[in-house]
Amino acid sequence: QYDVIVQTEGRGRERPEDIDRLFVRGRNDTMVPLSALVKVREAVSPRELNHFNQRRSVSITANLAPDYSLGQALAFLDQTAAKLLPQGYATELNGVSREFRSSSGALGVVFVLALLFIFLVLAAQFESFIDPFVILLSVPLSMAGALLALQWSGGTVNVYSQIGLITLVGLISKHGILIVEFSNQLRQQGRPVMDAVLDAASQRLRPILMTTGAMVLGAVPLALATGAGAEARQPIGLVIVGGLLVGTLFTLYVVPTAYLLLAGRGRGRRRPRRGPSSPRSGWRKSAPGRAVRASAPR
């Protein structure tokens, strides 16, 4: 496919009056001068008409002023457009602004799906709906710490900080899993609920602090990043550092208390499980027609 452009010679299109001397074919193959059909006048018009979403558009490009976030700028744009634009005109976003607006609307859905997925996995692992609920109580506490870290550092809730919030859900849930799982193991041994929770919180304190310190130190370079691309790495690091520090502090108190109130009172004392190597007495069948009595050694 080739584009063919037809034009007159250069001396026939030097002045605006040359347009009047063009001829078009009329009825009965008669040639009619263009001056008999149209009137030529000089005016100002755009060189090209840009379209966006199949509508004529004008692009406006701006930079953010200091101490203002992208969300505040878009809110100001919507308010100004509602006051100044006449009826029939509208605004559309493109580029980073469009991604921010679309991702902001989908953050709630993604966050709920992440919580639901973790809840279902934990429910299948613990064979209970109460234990996953106790574990996920630490998630709102970590979110509060992450938002406080963004506020104190002057950051904003953007696409990158939202990614850090979703990642924080899985990181902070690990602390509750350690405490609840160890409490369940102690209760299977016949320990009272209060003793099991206290022992689990004290004995799992060192692993929780060690893993928290490792993850926080690993995210500190992201929070202190400078140079090219720092605006993408800093929000993720700030969210992880602030969320883990605050979430871990409250997890050590909230999760044991919630386990004592919900899981402990709801099911009572657990019965000990019999593992494959646990000694037990009774009759077992060794061969057809024979039965051997086995007893546990004293």
Are the C-beta atoms of residues 217 and 237 closer than 8 Å to each other? no
DSSP 151-187: HHHT----HHHHHHHHHHHHHHHHHHHHHHHHHHHHH
pLDDT band at 264 (very low <50, low <70, confident <90, very high): low
The better pLDDT of the pair 158, 249 is held by 249
Q: What is the pLDDT of residues 175-207, one digit of tens each?
A: 888 888 888 888 888 888 888 888 888 888 888
pLDDT at 104 (0 to 100)? 67
What's the pTM?
A: 0.58
Q: What percent of the chain has pLDDT over 70?
A: 87
d(CA 22, CA 281): 113
Strand, coil or helix: 214: helix
pLDDT at 174 (0 to 100)? 84
The better pLDDT of the pair 158, 49 is held by 49
Q: What is the pLDDT of residues 72-84, one digit of tens each?
A: 888 898 899 989 9
Mean pLDDT of the chain: 80
Contacts of 46 (CB under 8 A, 6+ apart): none
Are the C-beta atoms of residues 112 and 120 closer than 8 Å to each other? no
d(CA 64, CA 74): 10
d(CA 296, CA 119): 40
DSSP lists the bridge partners of residue 24 as: 32
- Cα-trace Rg, the chain: 36
Phi and psi for 198 in degrees, rounded to 5? Answer: -65, -45
The two tokens of residue 20 are 């009047």
d(CA 194, CA 187): 10
